[in-house]
Structure 1
Amino acid sequence: MKRKLQTVLPIAAAAVLYATLATSASADEVVKIGHVAPLTGGIAHLGKDNENGARLAIEEINAKGLTINGQKITLQLDAQDDAADPRQATQVAQRLVDDKVVGVVGHLNSGTSIPASKIYSDAGIVQISPSATNPTYTQQGFKTTYRVVATDAQQGPALANYAAKTMKIKSVAIVDDATAYGEGLANEFEKTAKALGLNVVSHDATNDKAVDFRAILTKIKGEKPDAIMYGGMDATGGPFAKQAKQLAINAKVLAGDGVCTEDLAKLAGDAADNVICSQAGMALEKMVGGAAFGAKFQKRFNQSIQIYAPFTYDAVYIIVDAMKRANSTDPAKILAAMPATDYKGVIGQTQFDSHGDLKAPVISLYDYKGGKKMLLDVVKM
């Protein structure tokens, strides 16, 4: 009896070991994709919108199932808050590198994407910004920087051309928020405006935390421009437009994608109806999969899209597409597969040039009627 027990015990132990090994072998490999946007501060609603787009993609891919090189993969969104602050952005970028993410979707702002890009470049991790439009972001010589929107070198001229040729304005005052995004966009607009023969009566700077614009606006009122171009985000652009109306300034307010959000009407009140703005990508209503994506997003998060959620959604799928083509979760191999990207998603066909910019960028132009954002025109660059 004793002898039989000694024989049975090793067999039982072996069975337990085999079961443990089998369970371990069948367990999914967890692969992290980073996402960074401001989740606190004045533009947190835009940051959460971007994060939700990325989260929706992660959830979908996991539900469908993903296998890379014979291994089942579970994706995990490593979501971080940079508070739209350049210093915090670099700290968060290092945190994602330390977390061993295989790619990053972000940052939202140009002013955070640019300083963070050096950290991702040093680590050899692909970074796809869904909304950073300053041209400098992809002109630093890094092989890791990509974006799925047009640049301000395209957005600024598109807005200036529309103002001059369609709106027939003759003079414009310019105000920017002194960030990499706001100043960059305003400067690109100004260059084209002057080339088109518009009279730029002034160019003033404020900051991205300002709440009172009455001093600048009072000065501009005396200059009597046909339009005012504002380079900044909706958190400041809304009050800017509202205070312009309160001062009985009749000039149209022109703005870029940072202002061109669903929340602008809440921030500007009925002054939103005096705003014409651009978006550095295809309008949701013109995207082939836009309506379906909008409905899916609304169902999952119980809110409508602010602006760039479809772009973060596609950015996640583009990283996974590179992962599939590389047949690897190694960041270096994913990065090596990125230049050959040819992905058809919600935002359209995505292909990159040698800098990581879109080969076929699009600018959409909007106004607001009764507080509702309305598409005016789509310009292919």
Structure 2
Amino acid sequence: MRRPLVLAAILASTLGFPVQAEILIGVAGPMTGKLAWTGTQLKRGAEMAVARINAAGGVLGEQIRLIVADDFCDAQQAVAAAQKLVADKAVLVIGHYCSGASIPASKIYAKAGVVQISPSSTNPTLTEQGYANVFRVCSRDDAQGLQAGNYLADHWGDKKIAILHDDTTYGKGLAEETRKQLNKRGVNETIYQSYEPGKDDYSAEIAGFQTAGIAVLYLGGYHTEAALMVRAARERAYPVQVISGDDTATEAFGLIAGPAAEGTLFTFVADPRRNAEAADVVARFRAENFEPDSWTLHSYGAAEVWAQAVRKAGSLDPQKITETLRKYQFDTVLGRIDFDEKGDLTVQNWVWYVWKGGEYVPLE
């Protein structure tokens, strides 16, 4: 598992051609389908990081090559993608995006001894499985749900609240954590139910909530359905307050929802585009006419963390790298981060945002 392209290297050496060793790493996420926008963010973040690392000399004197794997945000396809990345001898996987993809894929990486660093999978189960090789550079949904539940109780405790989820690992998990905290605060939701993801229209569901007198709609799910629900509510002149989670932090939500996005609230990690450490990287992305929103910089940061750990360990041995990841702090575009024994960030940081004037900004 030490190096890819071994046969090609042997042949090149035999023929007298210079051999350029490579280290393969993978980035995995929904490169196609309804979440392809987010998959592109992960891909662009990893690509930029690899380019910058290689320009600085690579790691251990060798250059990095990136492999892109499409999991369609699907558990079975994620397993297939993970198996392919392992077969291709990737020593790191940046991914996956969806928790429902990361969790089954993590079992493949654990068995193969491949380091996995997810930029965005927030479901607690990912790092609760006890795999030494699994890390994430984002916060967890139990902390996100705690924040959301408290906010609902503080601001709408005397109103009718509906909590919905799309029955995915991410969406249902976030909704349940939010509901748990809301109930702890002595507030009971009026409606708690799932919705069918992938539909083109949710006007019937929205009409039902309006009839029931729902004042606040909390959505555990992805931005595509959230945007359609917001549009359906505005088309009915229904002033329901829509609140959602971190997947709403993407330009795609605003493009789908249009003017109806205005006023939508959601939780997201502290926007790394505002970090002084990220200024140069953000400028480079924007020079390429690409806005590094959502999880772009988390993908970049995952590659940074790994590269720094390899240099500190002086080795690509996965056990040495995982030990190094837990032992040291790392300076990245995400700021200075370090991991606990589970592979989670030691500091969980969720912030409230609002869609305003066609973009999301911190809630004042």
Same fold (TM over 0.5): yes
Match status 1:264 vs 2:256 = no
What CA distance in whole angstroms lies between the structure 2 residues aligned with 1:232 and 1:213? Answer: 14
Match status 1:188 vs 2:177 = yes
Question: Does the 8 Å contact 1:164/1:170 carry over to 2?
Answer: no
**Deviation of residue 99 (structure 1)?**
0.6
- 1:15 is matched with which residue? none
What CA distance in whole angstroms lies between the structure 2 residues aligned with 1:99 and 1:370? Answer: 45
1:101 alignment partner AA: A
Match of 1:335 among 322, 330, 349: 322
Match of 1:33 among 6, 19, 25: 25
Unaligned runs of 5+ in 2: 1-12
**Deviation of residue 113 (structure 1)?**
0.3
**Deviation of residue 201 (structure 1)?**
0.5
What CA distance in whole angstroms lies between the structure 1 residues aligned with 2:177 and 2:296? Answer: 25
What CA distance in whole angstroms lies between the structure 2 residues aligned with 1:288 and 1:361? Answer: 20
What CA distance in whole angstroms lies between the structure 1 residues aligned with 2:286 and 2:340? Answer: 33
1:50 alignment partner AA: L
**Deviation of residue 285 (structure 1)?**
4.6
- 1:50 is matched with which residue? 42
What CA distance in whole angstroms lies between the structure 2 residues aligned with 1:82 and 1:169? Answer: 42
What CA distance in whole angstroms lies between the structure 1 residues aligned with 2:352 and 2:294? Answer: 13
- Quickly say closer, same or farther: Cα 1:87–1:54, change in 2 above 3 A: same
Within a 5 Å distance, the mapping from 1:170-249 to structure 2 comes to 170-249=159-238
Question: Does the 8 Å contact 1:35/1:80 carry over to 2?
Answer: yes
Question: Does the 8 Å contact 1:46/1:306 carry over to 2?
Answer: no
Question: Does the 8 Å contact 1:173/1:202 carry over to 2?
Answer: yes
**Deviation of residue 210 (structure 1)?**
2.4
**Deviation of residue 293 (structure 1)?**
2.6
Q: String of CA shifts for 1:172-228, please: whole Å, max 9, x gaps.
A: 101111100000001111111122233300012113322222232222112212210
Question: Does the 8 Å contact 1:262/1:305 carry over to 2?
Answer: no
- Quickly say closer, same or farther: Cα 1:353–1:67, change in 2 above 3 A: closer
2:37 alignment partner AA: H
- 2:7 is matched with which residue? none
Match of 1:112 among 101, 110, 124: 101
**Deviation of residue 317 (structure 1)?**
1.1
**Deviation of residue 167 (structure 1)?**
6.3
Question: Does the 8 Å contact 2:157/2:187 carry over to 1?
Answer: no
What CA distance in whole angstroms lies between the structure 2 residues aligned with 1:91 and 1:174? Answer: 33
SS at match of 1:149: coil
What CA distance in whole angstroms lies between the structure 1 residues aligned with 2:28 and 2:162? Answer: 34
- Quickly say closer, same or farther: Cα 1:371–1:212, change in 2 above 3 A: same
What CA distance in whole angstroms lies between the structure 1 residues aligned with 2:158 and 2:119? Answer: 32
- 1:163 is matched with which residue? 152
- Quickly say closer, same or farther: Cα 1:285–1:313, change in 2 above 3 A: closer
2:39 alignment partner AA: G
- Quickly say closer, same or farther: Cα 1:110–1:29, change in 2 above 3 A: same
What CA distance in whole angstroms lies between the structure 2 residues aligned with 1:179 and 1:33? Answer: 28
Q: Number of residues paired by the alignment?
A: 353
Q: Pairwise CA RMSD of aligned residues?
A: 2.0
**Deviation of residue 166 (structure 1)?**
5.0
- Quickly say closer, same or farther: Cα 1:29–1:329, change in 2 above 3 A: farther
Match status 1:360 vs 2:347 = yes
Match status 1:126 vs 2:118 = no
**Deviation of residue 67 (structure 1)?**
4.7
What CA distance in whole angstroms lies between the structure 1 residues aligned with 2:59 and 2:352? Answer: 40
- 1:283 is matched with which residue? 271
- Quickly say closer, same or farther: Cα 1:226–1:169, change in 2 above 3 A: farther
TM-score by length of 1: 0.88
TM-score by length of 2: 0.91
Q: Larger deviation: 342-351 or 166-175? A: 166-175
2:170 alignment partner AA: Y
- Quickly say closer, same or farther: Cα 1:285–1:326, change in 2 above 3 A: closer
SS at match of 1:357: coil
- Quickly say closer, same or farther: Cα 1:262–1:67, change in 2 above 3 A: closer
Question: Does the 8 Å contact 2:59/2:307 carry over to 1?
Answer: no
What CA distance in whole angstroms lies between the structure 1 residues aligned with 2:292 and 2:186? Answer: 37
- 1:349 is matched with which residue? 336
Percent identity at matched positions?
A: 33
Unaligned runs of 5+ in 1: 1-19
SS at match of 1:65: coil
**Deviation of residue 168 (structure 1)?**
6.5
- 2:126 is matched with which residue? 137
Match of 2:243 among 242, 254, 260: 254
What CA distance in whole angstroms lies between the structure 2 residues aligned with 1:49 and 1:285? Answer: 13
**Deviation of residue 299 (structure 1)?**
1.8
